[in-house]
Each structure stands twice: as C-alpha cells, then as structure tokens.
Chain A
C-alpha cells in the first residue's frame, strides 16, 4: 500500500490541511476522519446570519478545491485513540487506520455548565445541529433568553436573539464587562453600552448556581440567589479541546496539543496539529505557546503544518521559518462590527484611542513596551477600514523577541 496521511478532524482545519498537503506536493493518499456527518462547513454564521434565518444552512458548506477530489472522507465516525509510535489511529467503529503522517485537527467542543438542574432548553452553539435546535426555540413568540457567558458567541447570540424579537435577552457573566478578556476595559465598556441601547440586559459580576425547572429549564439561578426567568438558555462559557483520543502517547495535552514552532507534536516529525486545538508558539510575539480560537487560524496553521509534514515525509529540507501568523478576528453584533489585527490581548495595559471616540466609530491601539501590538475597530465600515490600514504596520514589525516582551 502507498503512503498515507490521516487528517483527524473534518472541519475547516481538516479541509484546509488536506488542501495544503496537496499544495505542498503530497501525492500520496489522504484520509480525513470526522465525527460530524457533514462535509466541512463554515461555523461563524451559526451564531449570526444562519441563526437569524438570513442565510440557509446549506450556504455554510465549504467548496473543497479540485486538488482534494481524491481524498477519502470518513464522516460520522470520530477518532477514539491513537498509537503514535506505531503510526495507527483507531476510529469509533473500530477501524484501525495506519498512517505515515498524521494531522491533528480535532478542534474544540463547548464547555458545559455542571451546576444542577434540567438539561432541556439549554443550548450551545458549535455545530449545525446546535444552531438548528437553538433557532427553533429562539423563534417562538415571547421567548425569554438567558445567555451565560459574555464572550464572542454569547454577545453575537444575544444580538441575534434581540433581532429575532425575543421578549427578553439577558447576558450573565462573572466578569464586570462583556468581552473584556480579548478587548480590555475601554472597548468592553463601549460594547456594553451599545448592547444595552439595543435592548440586551446584563447581569455582570454574577455566576450561575443552578437551573430551575422540572422537565426543562424555566429559570437561571445566580450565585446571589437572583432567579432570571428563562425559556431558553445559551451556554457560551468557553470550550474544551478534543484531545482525549491522544491520551497515552506521552504528549502535553494540558490545553489542546502542544506543538513546536513548526506545529509538530511531541517531537514527532510525522505528527502536526492545526486549528484551535493546536497550542503553538508565535514567533511574531513572545514565543509562549497558546491556543488561538480565531477563524483565521485553521487556514494559517494548515498552510505551515502541511509544508513541514510533507517536507519530512518526502525527505526534503523545507527550510521553514518558525510559524509567525498575524492574528485577526472579527465579530458582527447588531449592526456594528469588531475587527482586530495583531495581538491586542498582549497590550491591554496600554490602550490608546487612535481615531474616533468610543461613543461612535472608534479605533483603538494596544501597546506593549511602547510598541503597537494590536488594533481593534468598533463600529461601521469606516472604522473597520481604518483598522485595516494598521495591518501592514503590524506585519512589518520585526518579530518581537522573548527579551522584548516579559512573559
């Protein structure tokens, strides 16, 4: 049998990995294994356009490149274990797949709240099935919605629920401001005001103690004893890495899969990781390994990891520089957009308004040791365009070294 690369995970990271393996010159077999029954699809609209009913679920499907027409797709059966030293993965249905090279692309799943109460009526948003179920409930007349977690997905779902005509939408979070982790206080305060003006209520600085209801949820109990009446609850409280299948191989799986600067796993040149499950050092910044859940990461990691893997398997020295992507994210909420370039999270101690003002369109710069490390725009198209003008500046910067940024 000829050489084969197995890609574990059939979402965006798995698709991009397959395409980039071909682009890097791999002519051997490629098998992509995925737990969901669907071909790879685009997830961001699940909390926005698709949840709002403005775009059909069918519009989410990626169009694979012609170069992956001969890829063997094993869908609806996830990987359950791996013996990396033997170069074998085992699928849910018991199939053992030998491989020459392995791409870890199994992604994340939503974290669930473990506090007591019924499960019915409580939703997460990660898959098509999740969004379909949530949409059915959000479109019931007079529905009262409680969103637990004021991050990207929580804020987007809250905005969508208001637009769908929900009677009440309340966002609960233990932190004092929405999205304060990625954005810092200045923009998070501006974001809070915008949401409140558009009818979203907030219970901030509050944790969830439990859920009321018999067969299904009727209320959310906060840790100060307050009860928020709820017909629908959305849990957007972060995610958990799908790495259990890699247990027993001596890997660092403490938060996703630790990789080196070429996205290789566990010192094995024939195993790489891509997408949000990969915890990689970014040579552009401080070299500290982090997982990044932004949408741009599957594409960026797949391009680099495929080159590294194919070079090893074909015995060619790729001469690859360390992986150093420029992170970017966006979020659409109500009629405004957040657009980020660079790493604002590294510069939250020195935040400056570069243009506009927080009450309207605003562009904010994040600095570390006096240097700009990230920009975020909040507002309409003009603000987003202004952010884009800083992108080349952020790209031109020499990669910051470990001594430049204390860890």
Chain B
C-alpha cells in the first residue's frame, strides 16, 4: 500500500496519528512524519486516518 500526504494541505492537526499510530507520528517540531509504504495489514487504520484528516490531505494509492 502506498500512502501520500499532500504536505501543502497538511496543517499538523495530528488526527491521523490517533487513527493510525503505526503509520503517522508528529516529530519533535510538531510536524507530521509518516511511513509511505505501510504493510497492507494496516489498510483499515490508514483508511480511517484518511477519513479523519481535517484537510483531506491523505491519499491511499494501491
């Protein structure tokens, strides 16, 4: 699974971190960092992360 975050849209709300902590995290500066190619077993939580992103900045590409 390939995850793409539009960092021009991202405003560091961090909602994705709650939904998919194995894939998204906030770094020490409070900016979003993420795993771009997570295991397919994490699909459900990554989909939830995409759903709850206030800026709808997360895209899942198969």
Please give the residue numbers on chain A whose beta carbons come within 8 Å of chain B beta carbons, in ascending order.
16, 42, 44-45, 55, 59, 62-63, 65, 295-296, 299, 328, 330, 332, 339, 381-382, 384-385, 388, 391
Question: Are B30's CB and A385's CB within 8 A?
Answer: yes
- The complex places the Cα of A330 from the Cα of B13 at a distance, in Å, of 9
B59 contacts which of A42, A59, A63, A299 (Cβ < 8 Å)? A63
Tell whether, in the assembled complex, residue B26 and residue A16 are in contact, meaning their CB atoms are under 8 Å apart.
no
Q: Is the interface of A mostly helix, strand, loop or mixed?
A: helix
- Nearest A residue to B59 via CB reads A63
C-alpha gap A45/B11 in the complex (Å): 12
Contact assessment for B54 and A295 in the assembled complex, using a CB-CB cutoff below 8 Å: yes
Which of chain B's residues have a CB closer than 8 A to the CB of A55?
Answer: 9
Q: Return the contact of B18 from the options A330, A339, A391 (Cβ within 8 A).
A: A391
Instruction: Point out the residues of chain A lying under 8 angstroms from B15, CB to CB.
Output: 328
Residues 1 to 42 of chain B near chain A (Cβ within 8 Å): 9, 11-15, 17-18, 26, 30
- The one of A65, A328, A332, A384 that contacts B47, using a Cβ cutoff of 8 Å: A65
Residue in B18, B55, B56 with the greatest tally of chain A CB atoms within 10 Å: B56
Q: How far is the CA of A181 from the CA of B52 in the complex (A)?
A: 25
Cβ of A44: which chain B residues have Cβ within 8 Å of it? 54
A366 to B56, CA, bound (A): 30
- C-alpha spacing A16/B52, complex, angstroms: 11
Cβ-defined partner of A42 (8 Å) among B11, B30, B47, B56:
B56
Q: Among the interface residues B26, B51, B56, which one has the most CB atoms of the partner chain A within 10 A?
A: B51
Alpha-carbon gap, A45 to B9, bound state (A): 11
Q: How many angstroms between the C-alpha atoms of A63 and B9 in the bound complex? A: 15
| Residue in contact with B12 in the complex, picked from A42, A45, A65, A381, CB distance below 8 Å | A381
**CA distance in complex: A278, B18 (Å):** 25
Interface hub of B9, B14, B30 (most chain A Cβ within 10 A): B14
Of B17, B30, B54, B56, the residue contacting A330 (CB under 8 A) is: B54
A329, closest chain B residue (CB): B54
Complex: A328 Cα to B11 Cα, angstroms: 16
Contact A384 B14 (CB under 8 A): yes
Report B-chain residues with C-beta under 8 Å of the C-beta of A384. 12-14, 30
Q: List 15 A-B contacts (CB under 8 A).
A: A42-B55, A42-B56, A55-B9, A62-B56, A63-B56, A63-B59, A65-B47, A330-B54, A339-B13, A381-B12, A381-B30, A384-B12, A384-B13, A384-B30, A388-B18
How long is the Cα–Cα vector from A62 to B26 in the complex, in angstroms? Answer: 24
Cα–Cα distance between A62 and B54 once the two chains are bound (Å): 11
